[in-house]
Amino acid sequence: MKLQKIVLGIFLIVGLFCFAGDGDTTKINFFKKYDLQQWKGSWLHKKFDQLDQNKTYKKAYLVLELGCASYGCCVWDYGFHAYIGKPIPGYDTMKFSKKDTVTWNAVTVILDSLWINRKTSNVEVASLITPYGTYMRAGSNGFTNNWTHPYVFDVTDYLPLMKDSFALVIESGGYDGKKGFNLTADLILIEGNSLYTPKRVINAYGKGYSYKNEAQIDTIIKPYKFKLASDENQAKFRTIVTGHNQDGEFSPIEYYVTLNEQEVFSKRLWRNDCDKTHVQPQGGTWVFSRCNWCPGEKVIDFEIDLTPYLKATDSNVLKISFRKMETNSTNIQASYAIAGNIITYGNKSPYDISLIDVIAPSKDKTYFLHNPLCQGPRVKIRNEGTKSVKEAYIDYWVDINNKTTHIWKGNLMPEQSEVVQLPAFPWNNVNYNSPIFFAALQKTADNLITWNDQIRSEFDIPAVFSTQKLKFEIKTTNDTKDNTLKIYNEVNQEVFTKVYKNDNKTYSDTITLADGCYRMELVDFDDRLDVGDGLNFWWSTQQLAKTTGSFTIRNATNNATLKSFNADFGGMLNFQFTINSLKIGEYTSISSYDYKAYKFPDTIKTNIQTANNDEFWYLSPNPSADGRIQLNFIGTEKQSVEVKVFSLNGKLSYHKAFKNLSSFEELNLSHLPRGTYIVRVNINGKEDEKKWIFR
């Protein structure tokens, strides 16, 4: 089925609406409300399909939607994995009508494209943890028996596997009687050509490893060797890792990656934000911190740029490792599920930044805590190029004639993304019947490709209260920490703050608010759990003898209830509203709003031209063994040059300005720690940067 600029399903996949795109959108359904047989344990569910080989695709999204199985949701949280499966020759015994060619171990055979049960080699492309389904299957705490939740994964990196016949393979384990989840799975493909289409996917790691100590696991995780092909000169490592068993799940640990004996990535694996999940409340211990995963959430994968460390001709050696676990346990019970894929490319654009998501305002259930919204929007940008991005010019609006521009500044490295908080705006001329938010990136030196620069999202209108006089009523618990209530106006100024002692009493505060939009935050934190457990949490009641509280917003004039909140909210309640019966855009805004077409400085115009021309400076040696480098400049003999050196986390490590500089300059950077840096030069208004490795 072919779709043209569509809204998919019951929620909006905002990343698909790139208005400058040059192709249609194709949707392939693999599973439709399919009951996963989790009660049988770990089980592989496969469905094959085949793409039109006459078309090319520039983006691919995997959309998974979970609901309760026809026989009820699982109570427990389980690992949930999605793979692209390629047929393995030698395992087909049926006669087939559709044909495709597959090569395995240098043997090429012709296979069918529909037979579901044949064996496959599987590459993991997405991972999530199922929620504790207690309330879903009981239809309680705001859930119904037709509960569903979407999960969207960008799987563009795996387009090389989607040739000929391929399978979507789903694995979800669990033992909970005859219970489970049902699955709807769609592959969304956007037609067109892109420099970001990978050359190859190399499945380097894909299994579980037991952990007893740092030395033991280092011996069982073997290095992976690979070699670039002649048409490949760039690569990244995409890895998913989660900790399991008692110590592996509940103890932090540092995970790191080396390439050719150079450490290229390290990350402390710990999610301390599970108490702010977007599927809440849940049964079980959903608020507890865990090793790189939270119940009901996607597992965060890590994308690591390998290009600065690659050997063009010789074999490259990749290694994943763990350091000492942060635990007092003397008998460690831990394991780690690890997937790791090397993605190779040809030539990518040096400068490109893309808009990949609208977090708010949005109807997307995966951003429950941030919506509905009437204040400053939040969007997500990504650096798709090979050089770091320093600024982005973002237009946003709900009415094409009333735009606002925000200039973001930072240091966004290749393969990395960042959430940008946009300033509030007045929401002029919003269509209340079908409200849609738009955003677009303007073309700059950091944004030479434009097809991925526009995005939109449908959203709901925030709550509208009929009065200006509100009463905030809270019954506290007997917790050891305080609860804090804060109310902000549309320009993020605090208009009310109250700290409540947890002394098992009821407090009531009445405030009068001027016309406008407001954001309310109620924060909870229990130092015994090191997370928030709301005003009611079953585990705290049973194990800590914690009492139950409540929170309600009332009309202070007649004491009518305007909003009651579920007390089982974890770490934070986030709620936005307007008052005096005025919807967004109907009141006089206090946010700044003076849109004028932004005129780019001449330096940016110069940079755009330079990015497409020959290099005007060089850096050597690279890598450097002693920290000394030479900067060689092409052009006039005497020129003004500014040099900045940044670490990969954006910290400025060196800065010096030169006047009347000759054609080269030697820098002594031996005082810096060994690692990878960004060297940025500005020569008479022309700016450029290069990666430099200090070994």
Lowest mean pLDDT segment, chosen from 157-171, 293-307, 659-673: 659-673
Fold (topology level) of 1-196:
Jelly Rolls (2.60.120)
Confidence of residue 621 (pLDDT cuts 50, 70, 90): confident
The answer, yes or no, to whether residue 313 has pLDDT greater than 50, is yes
Q: What is the pLDDT of residue 40?
A: 60
User: CATH 2.60.40.3080 spans which residues of the chain?
Assistant: 614-694
Residue whose structure tokens are 């859930």: 143
Lowest mean pLDDT segment, chosen from 135-139, 310-314, 490-494, 569-573: 310-314
For residues 423-437, give the mean pLDDT.
Answer: 89
Give tens-digit pLDDT for 159-206.
999 987 888 999 887 777 778 899 999 999 988 777 678 899 999 999
Strands lying side by side in the sheet with 675-683: 652-661, 639-647, 675-683, 686-694
Mean pLDDT estimate for the chain: 84
Give tens-digit pLDDT for 461-471.
999 999 999 99
Q: Strand 463-464 relative to strand 572-578: parallel, antiparallel, unpaired?
A: parallel
Which residues on neighbouring strands pair with residue 68, listed in sequence order? 181
Highest average pLDDT, of 72-76, 333-337, 422-426, comes from: 333-337
HSE-CB of 202 using CA atoms within 13 angstroms:
18
Q: For the chain, how big is the Rg over CA atoms in Å?
A: 27
Lowest mean pLDDT segment, chosen from 213-217, 527-531, 548-552, 651-655: 651-655
Identity of residue 229? A
The answer, yes or no, to whether residue 93 has pLDDT greater than 70, is no
Confidence of residue 604 (pLDDT cuts 50, 70, 90): very low
Strands lying side by side in the sheet with 628-633: 617-620, 628-633, 664-668
Q: What is the pLDDT of residue 691?
A: 79
Confidence of residue 609 (pLDDT cuts 50, 70, 90): very low
For residues 478-489, give the mean pLDDT.
Answer: 91
Q: Count the neighbouring beta carbons within 10 Å of the beta carbon of residue 570.
A: 22
Confidence of residue 379 (pLDDT cuts 50, 70, 90): very high
The answer, yes or no, to whether residue 475 has pLDDT greater than 80, is yes
User: CATH 2.60.40.10 spans which residues of the chain?
Assistant: 353-461
Q: What is the pLDDT of residue 41?
A: 59
Domain 464-578 belongs to what architecture? Sandwich (2.60)
Query: Rounded distance, CA 214 to CA 393, Å?
Result: 45
Q: What is the pLDDT of residue 661?
A: 66
The answer, yes or no, to whether residue 635 has pLDDT greater than 80, is no
Lowest mean pLDDT segment, chosen from 30-44, 295-309, 359-373: 30-44
Closest to 607 in 3D by CA, of 666, 555, 531, 683? 683
Confidence of residue 680 (pLDDT cuts 50, 70, 90): confident
Give tens-digit pLDDT for 59-89.
899 999 999 988 888 888 999 999 999 887 6
Q: Where do runs of H (alpha helix) occur along 600-695?
A: 602-611
Fold (topology level) of 353-461:
Immunoglobulin-like (2.60.40)
Q: What is the pLDDT of residue 550?
A: 96
The answer, yes or no, to whether residue 124 has pLDDT greater than 80, is yes
Burial class (CB in 10 A: 0-12, 13-18, 19+), 105: exposed
Give tens-digit pLDDT for 380-392.
998 888 888 888 8
Burial class (CB in 10 A: 0-12, 13-18, 19+), 261: exposed
What is each CA distance from 200 to 81, 132, 174, 280, 627, in whole angstroms?
21, 37, 33, 39, 34
User: CATH 2.60.120.230 spans which residues of the chain?
Assistant: 1-196, 198-338
Highest average pLDDT, of 186-200, 283-297, 439-453, 673-687, comes from: 283-297
Q: Terminus-to-terminus CA distance in the chain, angstroms?
A: 52
Q: What is the pLDDT of residue 593?
A: 62
For residue 543, give the H/E element and its range.
helix 538-544
Q: What is the pLDDT of residue 108?
A: 55
Query: Rounded distance, CA 658 to CA 649, Å?
Result: 26
The answer, yes or no, to whether residue 563 has pLDDT greater than 80, is yes
The answer, yes or no, to whether residue 97 has pLDDT greater than 50, is no
Q: Where do runs of H (alpha helix) occur along 191-233?
A: 214-220
Give tens-digit pLDDT for 155-172.
999 999 998 788 899 988
Closest to 119 in 3D by CA, of 87, 150, 160, 142? 87
Q: Which tokens go with 228?
A: 């670039």
The answer, yes or no, to whether residue 368 has pLDDT greater than 80, is yes
Closest to 358 in 3D by CA, of 459, 275, 279? 459
Question: Which residues, other chains included, contact 126 with Cβ-Cβ below 8 Å and sequence gap of 6+?
Answer: 62, 64, 81, 82, 151, 153, 155, 298
Lowest mean pLDDT segment, chosen from 115-124, 141-150, 295-304, 527-536: 115-124
Q: What is the DSSP letter of 607?
A: H
Give tens-digit pLDDT for 489-533.
999 999 999 999 888 999 999 999 999 999 999 999 998 999 999
Burial class (CB in 10 A: 0-12, 13-18, 19+), 274: buried
Lowest mean pLDDT segment, chosen from 21-30, 235-244, 436-445: 21-30
Domain 198-338 belongs to what architecture? Sandwich (2.60)
Q: Strand 469-475 relative to strand 550-555: parallel, antiparallel, unpaired?
A: antiparallel
Q: What is the pLDDT of residue 23?
A: 52
Question: Which residues, other chains included, contact 514 with Cβ-Cβ below 8 Å and sequence gap of 6+?
Answer: 468
Whole-model pTM: value is 0.79
Is the CATH number 2.60.40.3080 carried by domain 614-694?
yes
Q: Which residue has the higher pLDDT, 613 or 488?
A: 488
Query: Rounded distance, CA 50 to CA 44, Å?
Result: 19
